[in-house]
Structure 1
Amino acid sequence: MSSAHEANIAARGKSFSLKAILNNAGIGLALLLVIAFFSVTTEHFLSSNNITNILTQITINLILAVGMTFVILIGGIDLSVGSVMAFAAVVAGKAITLPGLGVTELILLACLAGVLAGLVCGILNGVLSAYWSLPSFIITLGMLNIARGAALQISGAQTIYSFPFVFEEFGSKLIYGVPVVFLLALLLVLIAWFVLNRTVFGRLIYGIGNNEEAVRLAGHPVFWYKVAAFTICGLTAGIAAIVYMARLSIASPIAGIGFELNAIAAVIIGGTSLSGGRGSVIGTLLGAFIIGVLANGLILIGLSDFMRQMITGVVIIIAVILDHYRARLSAS
């Protein structure tokens, strides 16, 4: 790779960082306004217990959204993460209930099995969509059904439970009122931020979303970068499965229905463009917070499930419209 091309990539990475800061400032302001609104209209919104509840509730969506950010940045989409999470949870649930092993061995085996199950699904999504240049929407829609069917088949359509106490305790453990599972999600956000903003791999993920052909002509293996993005998404689905099991003490084959839509919503509300090439995992974090705070606050003011769904849908549409105008301003 030429020094001029390296300088171009570095400059583009700095440009993305500046745009990300400006976009996230607006998203952060929106989050503060939502928090202020519910603080005034509800009595217990800012109580320590409710804040802990919000952090716990957004954890799984945040983990899934971190992986989804990589896929959307390359101009793709992954509709299978909810089903992959259920599949990984069932695989991990089967592993953690095996007889004849100690508690530590069972927990390690379950975590490894669940993460590997997610990885395999992510690799398949990436290879199938990148090798044949097929729309990721179609490939991951197929994987949605494959993973869900596999989860039902492996579990016999039965919920798996009776996990070791230490494993269940991890899902409810707090450190100064902050759930440990949320800290895990936050760690994933920081790792993703570093990868996207401080590595050549991350800059090329942005580059593929902006101009895939230019990245290919520069001599970079676009195929493997695409596979890597989907693999990361599968990895986070596997991690989300472990967190889900620890939180609820079950592994259900019907878990995760609709979770892919919440993850996509967090990414889009966070300012990542559906067309790829623009966005930030910090924006995804803020987007997940907006969805979580909105859902929690609407419950506290007594709105029905139907009204909550409608309002969340309106927020998503507004985010997409704003993304459209951001794209036009960037192009001008």
Structure 2
Amino acid sequence: MTDTTNPTHAARAHRFSLRSILNNAGIGLALLAIILFFSVFTEHFLTSNNITNILTQITINLILAVGMTFVILIGGIDLSVGSVMALAAVVAGKAITMPGLGDGEAIILAILAGMLAGVVCGIFNGVVSAFWALPSFIITLGMLNIARGAALHISDAQTIYSFPFAFEEFGSAMIYGIPIVFLVALAMVVVAWFILNFTVFGRLIYGIGNNEEAVRLAGHPVFWYKVGAFTICGLCAGIAAIIYMARLNIASPIAGIAFELNAIAAVIIGGTSLSGGRGSVIGTLLGAFIIGVLANGLILIGLNDFMRQMITGVVIIIAVILDYYRAKYASK
């Protein structure tokens, strides 16, 4: 951990902090450039209805990406979040449609059940990958199949629907024209930002990504911090499942296919290094906006789905190349 009482270390910490600010500023300028481009070439882009659509559309990806940020910061990856979201949605859907419950009881039970399902999957990913020192890529690839299969089995491969009206109303509710579901995602960004910047847990998440052995030799339980990062990722998948249900009024076992790719893309575009130890949840927020604005704008200018996928892929590759040069610069 950085000793800020040492002038050299303090200067280095300030330099990295300034670098982080400039990095986020660069991402923000890229987002602004994309917004200006679509504003010029599409007359409906900056309308209030379209802005509301963008905020709503990025909500689930932003929530998943917040959890993914913790995992990538420790040098891991979670390929299971889309499937875990589907499993959590099915579990919550079964809970909310249980007979004999009042609307309030059913909603509370569904929220708790969905979050618990996500947490259990996250703990499993963290324990297995940390205890046996196995690549999280492989473990979470296995969980991707386990969770998807479990979602299909529990639901008998059927979509669950007929939720309480209050739950459905929440998914479309607004405050001063801002979707409540987006405000939930924004609140999660704030909480994650606080954890990563002002708690021992957050500092050690960065520390593990930078030098895991040094954190271990300093006497910190690296195992539990790794499990904690994956648990947070699973929790975020559970919350995303609840938001998905409230927005679409269904719980489908095939929901969330390839959602993990968009979440990873938002984190990487936002400046978090794939090798761990560098990045911020504010960058993740900007990355999620870039993906959402890009997808929305490309639709408005009339590009088909194939072209949109190609352009998004190019943006992701450029972000990874930039990450390479950021890492090279940081090592100097």
TM superposition score normalised by structure 2: 0.97
- Conserved? CA contact 1:59–1:185, under 8 Å: yes
1:252 corresponding residue in structure 2 = 252
Residue 64 of structure 1: aligned partner: 64
Aligned equivalents of 1:310, 1:265: Cα separation in 2: 14
- Tell me, in whole angstroms, the C-alpha distance in 1 between the residues paired with 2:6 and 2:228: 21
Letter in 2 for 1:128: V
Q: 1:75-131 CA deviation, whole Å, 9 max, x = no partner? A: 000000000000000000000000001100000000000000000000000000000
1:23-102 aligned within 5 A: 23-102=23-102
Partner SS for 2:36: helix
For 1:139-150, list aligned pairs within 5 A: 139-150=139-150
What is the alpha-carbon root mean square deviation over aligned residues? 1.8
Q: 1:13 to 1:86 in 2, by over 3 A?
A: farther
2:176 and 2:10 map into 1 onto residues whose CA distance is 40
Q: What is aligned with 1:151? A: 151
Alignment-derived partner of residue 113 in structure 1: 113
Does the 8 Å CA contact 2:268/2:320 hold for their aligned counterparts? yes
Q: 1:8 to 1:128 in 2, by over 3 A?
A: farther
The aligned residue for residue 163 of structure 1 is: 163
Matches within 5 A, 1:301-316: 301-316=301-316
Secondary structure in structure 2 of the residue aligned to 1:205: helix
The equivalences for 1:121-132 within 5 A come to 121-132=121-132
For 1:187, the equivalent position in structure 2 comes to 187
Q: CA deviation at 1:220?
A: 0.4
Change (3 A) 1:113 1:6: farther
- Asked if 2 retains the 8 angstrom alpha-carbon contact of 1:126 and 1:227, the reply is yes
Shift of 1:17: 3.3
Q: Is the 8 A contact 1:206 1:276 kept in 2?
A: yes
Alignment check: 8 A CA contact 1:73 1:279 kept = yes
State how far apart, in whole Å, the 2-side matches of 1:3 and 1:12 are.
10
Name 1:172's counterpart in structure 2.
172
Supply the AA of the counterpart residue of 1:46.
L
Alpha-carbon contact 1:92-1:113 (below 8 Å) kept: yes
Per-residue deviation, 1:19:
2.4
Q: 1:69 to 1:63 in 2, by over 3 A?
A: same
**Residue 328 (structure 2) aligns with:** 328
Partner Cα distance (1:265, 1:175) in 2: 29
| Poorly superposed stretches of 4+, deviation over 4 Å | 1-16
Match of 1:196 in 2: 196
Which residue matches 1:274? Answer: 274
1:189–1:237: structure 2 CA closer, same or farther, 3 Å change rule? same
1:189 counterpart letter in structure 2: V
Distance 1:193 1:7 in 2: 26
Between Structure 1 and Structure 2, how many residues are aligned? 332
Matched residues in 2 for 1:167 and 1:13: separation?
Answer: 46
Q: Distance in 1 between matches of 2:47 and 2:4?
A: 54
Q: Is the 8 A contact 2:4 2:10 kept in 1?
A: no
Deviation of 1:5 after TM superposition, in Å, equals 9.6
User: Identity across aligned pairs (percent)?
Assistant: 83
Matched, 1:234 2:234: yes
In 1, the alpha carbon distance for the partners of 2:127 and 2:6 equals 27
Q: Once the 2 structures are TM-superposed, how far is the Cα of residue 22 of structure 1 from its aligned partner?
A: 1.2
- TM-score, normalised by the number of residues in structure 1: 0.97
Distance 2:31 2:251 in 1: 33
More divergent stretch after superposition (1-10 vs 309-318):
1-10
Offset at 1:20? 1.8
Give the 3-state SS of the residue equivalent to 2:276 in structure 1. Answer: coil
Unaligned runs of 5+ residues in structure 1 are none
Deviation at 1:242? 0.1
Q: Structure 2, unaligned stretches of length 5 or more? A: none
Counterpart residue identity of residue 157, structure 2: A
Q: Does the Cα contact within 8 Å between 2:3 and 2:10 map onto a contact in 1?
A: no
CA spacing shift, 1:220–1:32, aligned 2, 3 Å:
same
